């Protein structure tokens, strides 16, 4: 299995498709790992992209001692993955927690990022709306658990097999402890967003109770030229709940900006 080496950690990653094609990296959220993208990887390969997936530190098959779990290192970990995979520049598609990873990489190393998709995430940007949503997210996770909070309330009834699979994938994160508090939260200041010179798409969904649409639209308003799209039906995880709609939105954005 391929790993990228970073201080204290070994970050698991996979590459799929033709390395000569434009690269797209998928950065998973708190309830997932690289396996979460099973509905995206084949579709993105078919659309002509070289796809990279990885497990954040302490998630899935990545190894990291719990005392070194730090979201502040996520962007450095992703840069190490890109280096190990031989990818100079990639579009980063981020879900929830993965937004902290992709946005910081875009801010700190813009030469490595060709486009950025922030799905159902404020990406660590601190605004009053985002902070209120983050506080609500912590409470939702504590009260109901990530598997319940991260999908629409009626998703288990509509799609029981997928709801079961979501919980099982999240259950593979056996090293993970409480990641909602870390010594370095990797916050991005609103003022840093003005310097982004790349295509950015923010996706939200009607029934996201963790980061409601209003919070995501607020973040979009601070990013020059950012596109905003709200998907129907889904809760916090449209990539998983309504994959066809999510894939169509992301692939249309990539086709426009990576052509």
228 pLDDT tier (thresholds 50, 70, 90): very high
Residue 21: both structure tokens together: 């094609």
Query: Would the pLDDT of 246 be above 60?
Result: yes
Which residue's entry shows tokens 């319940």?
A: 148
pLDDT tops 90 at residue 84: yes
Give the pLDDT mean for 149-158: 92
Share of the chain above pLDDT 90, in %: 80
Pull the structure tokens for residue 229: 């799209």
More confident residue, 38 or 69: 38
pLDDT at 130 (0 to 100): 76
DSSP states of 92-152: EEEETTHHHHHHHHHHH-GGGEEEEEEES--TTB--HHHHHHHHHHHHHHHHH-HHHHTS-
Q: Rounded mean pLDDT of the chain?
A: 92
The residue to which tokens 């426009």 are assigned? 256
CB 60 within 8 A of CB 26: no
The range of the structural domain enclosing residue 49 comes to 3-257
**b/e 173-212 (16+ beta carbons within 10 angstroms → b):** bebbeebeeeeeebbbeeebbeebeebbbbbbbebbbbbb
The alpha carbon of 215 is separated from its chain's Cα centroid by a whole number of angstroms, namely 16
pLDDT tens across 88-119, in order?
Answer: 999 999 999 999 999 999 999 999 999 999 99
Q: What is the mean pLDDT of residues 220-246?
A: 97
Residue 197 — very low, low, confident or very high, per pLDDT cuts 50/70/90?
very high
What pLDDT score was predicted for residue 133? 73
Task: Give the count of domains, the chain.
Answer: 1
Q: Is the full-model pTM beyond 0.85?
A: yes
The CATH code of the domain that includes 189 is: 3.40.50.1820
User: What pLDDT does 135 receive?
Assistant: 75
In the prediction, which pLDDT does 180 show? 46
């Amino acid at each position: 299995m391929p790993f990228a080496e970073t201080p204290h950690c070994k970050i698991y990653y996979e590459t799929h498709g033709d390395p000569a094609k434009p690269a797209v990296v998928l950065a998973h959220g708190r309830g997932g790992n690289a396996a979460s993208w099973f509905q995206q990887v084949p579709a993105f390969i078919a659309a002509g992209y070289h796809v990279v997936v990885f497990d954040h530190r302490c998630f899935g098959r990545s190894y990291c001692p719990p005392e070194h779990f730090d979201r502040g290192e996520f962007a450095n970990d992703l840069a190490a993955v890109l280096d190990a995979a031989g990818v100079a520049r990639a579009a980063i598609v981020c879900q929830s927690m993965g937004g902290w990873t992709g946005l910081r990489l875009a801010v700190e190393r813009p030469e490595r990022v060709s486009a950025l998709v922030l799905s159902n995430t404020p990406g660590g940007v601190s605004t009053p709306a985002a902070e209120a949503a983050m506080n609500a997210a912590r409470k939702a996770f504590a009260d109901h658990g990530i598997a319940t909070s991260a999908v629409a309330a009626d998703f288990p009834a509509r799609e029981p097999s997928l709801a079961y699979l979501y919980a099982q994938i999240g259950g593979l994160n056996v090293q993970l402890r409480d990641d909602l508090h870390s010594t370095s939260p990797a916050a991005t200041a609103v003022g840093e967003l003005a310097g982004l010179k790349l295509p950015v798409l923010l996706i939200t969904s009607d029934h996201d109770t963790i980061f409601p649409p209003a919070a995501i639209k607020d973040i979009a308003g601070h990013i020059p030229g950012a596109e905003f799209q709200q998907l129907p039906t889904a809760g916090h995880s449209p990539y998983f709940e309504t994959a066809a709609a999510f894939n169509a939105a992301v692939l249309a954005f990539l086709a426009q900006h990576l052509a």
